[in-house]
């Protein structure tokens, strides 16, 4: 009987004194890992889905390009546009942009630069092909079509 | 006179910390740098002008997509799933001369992919994905790893073990040529649909 009595005396509360510490630890983790996006994306971005995704090995060697219908259609029209950094460009400006991006890298890394194209599902092949032609001319031939992972059905 | 207590009230500290935590949780975006990797051919000007390579019809696997996202495979309308297309491409690559209408060997086999300017990016990616899946499956089977592992190891070739498996998968010969090159030709789109 005495055993049961002893158990009944045990406090049932969870100690909460360490909760702030735990929360702060989580907080610091997220503060450190958070990256504020430096560019506002002004085009629609619903990425297509694919199954054979490859990861980019080095993020410093990546230049991003966004293609899709502008979000402000009353200002820019409904035709898909190319956005780099914070501005819309035309396909003919791609070479200049590539050279700017390459200039940011070390000399020996320049030929390893990958262009990551984030293209909206509704964009047409025409504008992308124009960009590809310019990329070939600019000798930036490593290309990544950014996609999402498709749920495997097989 | 009661002694002044210099303690800061810390009952609300957890609440404040939670508030900050929620803020950072919401603003965090997990960068996704994943997708389909391709290498573009050199610019047209860089190619020798007299380059006119004859490719036998049997060594070409033609995929065409029009501006309505309708697909022709080897001249016939195709209504199947991407997985069916993947298996067809795989069969074509691994034919090794068995079927006289299919490829001679994997090295000569070329998957030719032509779209229209009006083809949607979604369809383009779907077909490209199927074609790459066919090759990656072949490579993965040869290297005796899963396709997932193959995709992982081929993104980091600085690791010698990865390099070794990569060379086995692609059948690299001592002279540097590859037995199973990914001959995926993405042609300039036609101009029928869209400017």
pLDDT in tens, A25-68: 888 888 787 766 667 788 888 888 888 888 887 777 888 899 99
CB contact under 8 A, A50 and B124: no
Q: What confidence category does residue A16 fall into, taking pLDDT thresholds of 50, 70 and 90?
A: confident
Domain that holds residue B124: 56-186
Minimum Cα–Cα distance from A22: chain B residue: B14
CB contact under 8 A, B120 and A135: no
Structure tokens that stand for A84 in this block: 């780099």
Q: What is the pLDDT of residue A55?
A: 83
Chain A residues close to B38, C-beta within 8 Å: 143-145
Is B14 within the bounds of a domain?
no
pLDDT in tens, A89-145: 998 999 999 999 999 888 888 888 899 999 999 888 989 999 999 999 888 889 999
CA distance A10 to chain B (A): 24
**Nearby residues of B27 by Cβ (< 8 Å), 6 or more positions away:** A34, A36
Give SS3 for B24.
helix
pLDDT in tens, A56-105: 877 778 888 999 999 888 888 888 899 988 889 998 999 999 999 999 88
Q: What is the pLDDT of residue A154?
A: 47
Structure tokens that stand for B184 in this block: 């995926």
Question: Taking the model in full, what pTM does it have?
Answer: 0.79
CA distances in angstroms from B138 to A55, A62, B160, B166, B186, listed in the order given: 20, 29, 21, 12, 20
pLDDT at residue A147 tops 70: yes
Instruction: Count structural domains, chain B.
Output: 1
CATH architecture of the domain covering A49-149: 2-Layer Sandwich (3.30)
Q: What is the pLDDT of residue A38?
A: 65
- For B129, the closest of A23, A50, A116 (CB atoms) is A50
**Nearby residues of A29 by Cβ (< 8 Å), 6 or more positions away:** none
CB contact under 8 A, A124 and B136: no
CB contact under 8 A, A125 and B14: no
Q: Of A40, A111, A27, nearest to A71 (Cα)?
A: A40
Q: What is the pLDDT of residue A72?
A: 86
CB contact under 8 A, A52 and B40: no
Cβ neighbours of B63 (radius 10 Å)? 23
Q: What is the pLDDT of residue B1?
A: 57
CB contact under 8 A, A146 and B37: no
Residue ranges, chain B, pLDDT below 50 = none
Is B20 within the bounds of a domain?
no
Tell me how far apart the alpha carbons of residues B70 and B142 are, in angstroms, rounded to a whole number.
Answer: 33
**Range A95-99 contact pairs with CB under 8 angstroms and sequence separation of 24 or more:** A95/A134, A95/A137, A95/A138, A97/A63, A98/A63, A98/A134, A98/A135, A98/A138, A98/A139, A98/A140, A99/A138
Is B169 within the bounds of a domain?
yes
Better-scored residue on pLDDT, B117 or A18: B117
End-to-end CA distance of chain B: 88
Q: Give CA torsion, residues B64, B124, B79, B136, to 10 deg.
A: 100
Is B70 within the bounds of a domain?
yes
Per DSSP (E only), the strands in A1-154 are: 49-50, 54-55, 62-68, 81-84, 87-89, 114-119, 142-146, 148-149
Average pLDDT on A8-30 reads 78
Question: CB contacts < 8 Å between A and B, how many?
Answer: 158
Q: What is the pLDDT of residue A95?
A: 92
Q: What is the pLDDT of residue A148?
A: 87
Mutate which: B11, B25, B33, B134, vs A, most A CBs within 10 A = B33
Domains of chain A, by residue range, sit at 2-33, 49-149
Residues pairing with B146 in the sheet: none
């Amino acid at each position: 009987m005495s055993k049961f009595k002893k158990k009944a005396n045990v406090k049932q509360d969870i100690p909460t004194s360490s909760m702030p510490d735990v929360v702060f630890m989580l907080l610091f983790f997220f503060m450190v890992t958070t990256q504020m996006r430096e560019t506002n994306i002004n085009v629609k971005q619903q990425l297509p889905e694919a199954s054979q995704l490859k990861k980019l090995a080095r993020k410093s060697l990546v230049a991003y390009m966004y293609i899709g219908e502008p979000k402000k259609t009353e200002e820019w029209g409904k035709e898909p546009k190319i956005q780099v950094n914070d501005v819309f460009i035309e396909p003919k400006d791609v070479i200049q942009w590539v050279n700017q991006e390459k200039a940011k890298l070390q000399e020996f890394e320049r030929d390893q630069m990958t262009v990551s194209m984030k293209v909206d599902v509704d964009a047409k092949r025409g504008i992308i092909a124009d960009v590809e032609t310019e990329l070939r001319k600019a000798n930036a031939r490593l290309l990544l079509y950014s996609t999402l992972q498709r749920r495997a059905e097989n | 006179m009661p002694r002044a207590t210099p303690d800061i009230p810390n009952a609300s500290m957890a609440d404040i910390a939670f508030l900050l935590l929620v803020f950072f949780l919401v603003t965090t975006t997990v960068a996704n740098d994943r997708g389909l990797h391709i290498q573009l051919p050199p610019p047209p000007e860089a190619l020798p002008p007299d380059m006119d390579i004859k490719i036998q019809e049997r060594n070409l696997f033609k995929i065409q997509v029009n501006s309505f996202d309708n697909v022709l495979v080897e001249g016939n309308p195709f209504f199947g799933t991407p997985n069916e297309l993947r298996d067809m491409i795989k069969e074509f690559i691994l034919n090794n001369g068995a079927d006289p209408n299919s490829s001679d060997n994997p090295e000569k086999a070329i998957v030719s992919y032509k779209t229209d300017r009006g083809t949607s990016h979604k369809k383009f990616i779907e077909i490209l994905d199927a074609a790459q899946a066919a090759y990656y499956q072949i490579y993965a089977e040869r290297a005796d790893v899963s396709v997932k592992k193959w995709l992982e190891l081929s993104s980091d070739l600085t690791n010698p073990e990865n390099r070794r498996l990569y060379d086995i998968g692609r059948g690299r010969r001592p002279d540097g040529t590859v037995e199973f090159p990914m001959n995926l030709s993405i042609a300039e789109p036609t101009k029928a649909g869209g400017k």
